[in-house]
Amino acid sequence: MAPWVVFAGALALTLALSWATAAAARGRDAVRFERAAIQARHRVTSRLDIYIALLRSTAGLVAAQPDIARDEFDAYVERLRIRENYPGAQGLGLSLRVSPDSVAALESRLRAEGFGDFAVRPDSARAEYHAIVFLAPLDPRNRAALGYDMFTEPIRREAMERARDNADAAMSGRVTLVQEIAGRRQAGFLLYVPVYDADAFPATVEERHQQLIGFAYAPFRADDLFAGIFGRTLAPEVEMRLYDGPVAADSALLHDSRTGTSLVTPRYAGLADTLQFSVAGRPWTMIVTPAPAFSEGRRAPLAPVVALLGVIVSVALLALARARRRAVLAVAEARDMFGRVLEQAPVAICVLRGPNHVLEVANPSYRALLPTDPVGRAVRQVIPAAEAHGFVETLDRVYASGSPLVGNGDEIAYAGDGGDGAASRHFNVLYYPFTRRDGSTDGVIVVAIDVTAEVQSRHDAEHARQEAEHANRAKSDFLAAMSHELRTPLNAIAGYVQLVDMGVYGGVTSQQHEVLARVQRSGSHLLSLINDVLNFAKLEAGRVEFDIRDVDLRRVVADVIHMVEPQLEARQLACRLDVAPGLLVRADEEKLRQVLLNLLSNAIKFTEEGSVTIHETAPSDRPGVRCLHVTDTGIGIPEDRHAAVFDPFVQVNRGLAKPTEGTGLGLAISRDLARGMGGDLTVQSRVAAGSTFTVTLQAVGADSDDVSDDVSDDVSDDVSSDAGGGTALADDHTLS
């Protein structure tokens, strides 16, 4: 057959298939449009049926309880949750039938209930009144409708009379609700269900006229209602215009869902449908046209799709083939890279397969540890000591559990030929399960890092540390013994000097008295230095015991102040104390007194003029802690030497003063004593601005009443007394 004939036949077949495909598409579009239109109508009618059922239940409630109170009706409506469960309804209300003689009483009753402006309107004489009495939820729109007589408006009256005479729900025509008091006005309508006052349902129209109580009703703003029915987008595939009555007149338009210029393609421009239906005895007309979204739901023509799919499949196959080739090359490169990583890795790596842990892969670093090639041999054969060191047990555990393990510093003996030349080495070992594709364990990957040198270094460091501690203990023991041996003769020398000075061995001249006094001062100073060395040695050796108990802080400070009164008097310095009476802290009283004596002595020593102040604070960020501050107006300490003042055998001399006597151990001992009592000792100072040393102690949860009045009074009296010689001790606490 000639190619042109085949080509022509293919074109004819293509045209036929295209026409058939287009016709089928048009048929599907028509069916889809009709289904969408029917669904839109169904959504409207089913929703209104729900509102009618709600009104019937409300009418039944009022008929059973004609004297229903407002709070009962409001509670009933609130439980219905109108706005949430029945979106679109403006509210739920009750319009009562009122005789002309009862209008004034009704108005008075409603005004007494809190509706001061309530009145039945319009205010015109008529044989029968109907007034909206209940309407909930009572928002500003619904409040505006209270008292309105809907029976005076013809469209509403027609629906109310139809409901009354037929004893059934009735819908009104298009109206403007009295609730339209603000914003854009919408078309509206109302649903009515009659309420009768009778034990039995009235059978005739005459009985229904006589026994009518009123109407349960619901007002609707049309746009709000259909927004509640369809949501923001209305029907997804259709637009609609809804008219009151059998004719689509502009004056009867209730709702138009069209939002602007239609974007529907010309293919669907001819699709339209007019649906007429009745709701509660009122005819409605719905004109439905395709929405812009309708064209989005159509099926695409098959021929272009098939051609496009063929191109896509061909391109995909080409891409797949090229990707497969790249994958093969990538796998080969990855294997090569993995091999090079194993070859060049500075750690020992091996793969053990099976429950017998047969070495399948071992890199050069691993092989270098062994005299022979381990591949293909069980770990027990390669490392005879593996069983004894627990290596095999660890491999069994990882193989059985499938969980990794890490061993740090494991010691493993690797044997040569038969194990004669075994050498122990230490490794950090990672045991990681080697799994199959299904997740089951097939072996164990072992990565071993030789840390023999590091382990040996740690052992050497530990040995050096122990030797250093031994030497330090020996030094402390030596210092303690030396200090003890030195103190004994010094005490004897001091005693004999005192006896000579007293004239026990004969008369002493004034010049000799002066020399003996110098000897006594030098001996006392040397004894003080030896005591400092001895105390520091005890602290370093850990032989100082602390008797921690509740201590009256003010009493201890006052005692120490009395001890340094001669120094204060000699320097003409004022001393101020601000510590609350009865304040208890947890401390060793003797050690605390030693710390404070050291701090006060230093403060006096480095203060030429001014004062020394002792006060306590309770830091807000550290509950249960008390801080005792010793502040002087001396020469201060450079900021870069604050830490150095607590180092043993260091005398900062405050950088600005003449050299002072001492070992440089006082502050070091004081800080160690403070820390031994669970506190600390810190410093804040600036050159020429004085220094503040702070002792931190644990507070006791007791008031000053827990300390006897006698003790507090004694301390206050002692501290406030005049020290003599122009040196006064002022108690700031008692003055505040």
Amino acid (one-letter) located at 479: L
Share of the chain above pLDDT 90, in %: 34
What was the pLDDT predicted at 402? Answer: 86
**Taking the CA atoms of the chain, what radius of gyration do you get in angstroms?**
53
Q: Quick one: tokens of 495?
A: 């005693």
What was the pLDDT predicted at 36? Answer: 84
What was the pLDDT predicted at 366? Answer: 81
Residue 74, pLDDT > 80, answer yes
What was the pLDDT predicted at 199? Answer: 73
- Mean pLDDT computed over 72-99: 89
H-run or E-run covering 192: strand 188-196
Q: Quick one: tokens of 302?
A: 């098959």
Beta strands in 451-573 (DSSP E): 549-552
Distance CA 394, CA 364 (A): 23
Res. 232 pLDDT band, cuts 50 70 90: low
Q: Quick one: tokens of 560?
A: 């120490």
Res. 314 pLDDT band, cuts 50 70 90: low
- Mean pLDDT computed over 145-158: 94
- Mean pLDDT computed over 458-486: 76
Distance CA 473, CA 475 (A): 5
pLDDT digits (tens, 9 = 90+) for 249-268: 999 999 988 765 555 555 66
pTM of the complete model? 0.42
What was the pLDDT predicted at 514? Answer: 82
Res. 732 pLDDT band, cuts 50 70 90: very low
What was the pLDDT predicted at 21? Answer: 66
pLDDT digits (tens, 9 = 90+) for 404-416: 988 765 666 554 4
Residue 683, pLDDT > 50, answer yes
Res. 698 pLDDT band, cuts 50 70 90: very high
Report phi then psi at 613, rounded to 5.
-120, 135
Distance CA 160, CA 171 (A): 8
Sheet with 238-244, side-by-side order of all strands: 253-256, 238-244, 282-290, 273-279
Residue 25, pLDDT > 80, answer no
Q: How far apart are the first and last CA of the chain?
A: 125
Number of Cβ within 10 Å of residue 534's Cβ equals: 19
Distance CA 161, CA 163 (A): 5
- Mean pLDDT computed over 573-588: 94
Residue 716, pLDDT > 50, answer no
Residue 5, pLDDT > 60, answer no
Res. 55 pLDDT band, cuts 50 70 90: very high
Helices 510-541, 452-501: axis angle to 10 degrees equals 160
Q: Quick one: tokens of 58?
A: 């409300």
Residues belonging to the chain: 736
What was the pLDDT predicted at 50? Answer: 92
Q: Which residues contact 726 (CB under 8 A, 6 or more apart)?
A: 569, 572
Contact 105, 131 (CB under 8 A): no
Longest alpha-carbon distance in the chain: 160
Distance CA 155, CA 554 (A): 97
- Mean pLDDT computed over 506-521: 81
Where do runs of H (alpha helix) occur along 167-246?
205-211, 222-230
Residues 717, 720, 721, 723: what is their CA dihedral angle, to the nearest 10 degrees?
140
Amino acid (one-letter) located at 382: V
Where do runs of H (alpha helix) occur along 65-102?
70-80, 82-85
Q: Which residues contact 486 (CB under 8 A, 6 or more apart)?
A: 530
Distance CA 691, CA 685 (A): 4
Give the number of C-alpha atoms closer than 13 A to the C-alpha of residue 317, restricted to the C-beta side. 5
Which of 180-194, 662-676, 722-736 is predicted most confidently?
A: 180-194
Return the SS3 of 105: helix
- Mean pLDDT computed over 90-106: 93
What was the pLDDT predicted at 328? Answer: 79
Distance CA 130, CA 157 (A): 10
What was the pLDDT predicted at 557? Answer: 96
Residue 3, pLDDT > 60, answer no
Least confident segment among 171-180, 288-297, 309-318, 673-682: 309-318
Residue 511, pLDDT > 60, answer yes
pLDDT digits (tens, 9 = 90+) for 596-651: 999 999 999 899 999 999 999 999 898 989 999 999 999 998 988 888 888 877 66
- Mean pLDDT computed over 309-315: 64
Residue 203, pLDDT > 70, answer yes
pLDDT digits (tens, 9 = 90+) for 522-555: 777 677 667 767 766 666 666 688 999 999 999 9
Distance CA 29, CA 442 (A): 61
pLDDT, greater one: 679 or 722: 679
Query: What are the C-alpha distances in Å from 388 to residues 44, 349, 391, 417, 423?
Result: 86, 21, 8, 18, 14
What was the pLDDT predicted at 182? Answer: 84
Q: What is the mean pLDDT of the chain?
A: 81
Q: Quick one: tokens of 698?
A: 């644990």
- Mean pLDDT computed over 37-60: 91
Using DSSP bridges, classify how beta strands 282-290 and 273-279 pair: parallel, antiparallel or unpaired.
Answer: antiparallel
What was the pLDDT predicted at 245? Answer: 92
What was the pLDDT predicted at 510? Answer: 85
Where do runs of H (alpha helix) occur along 167-217?
205-211
- Mean pLDDT computed over 84-91: 83
pLDDT digits (tens, 9 = 90+) for 327-341: 878 888 888 887 888
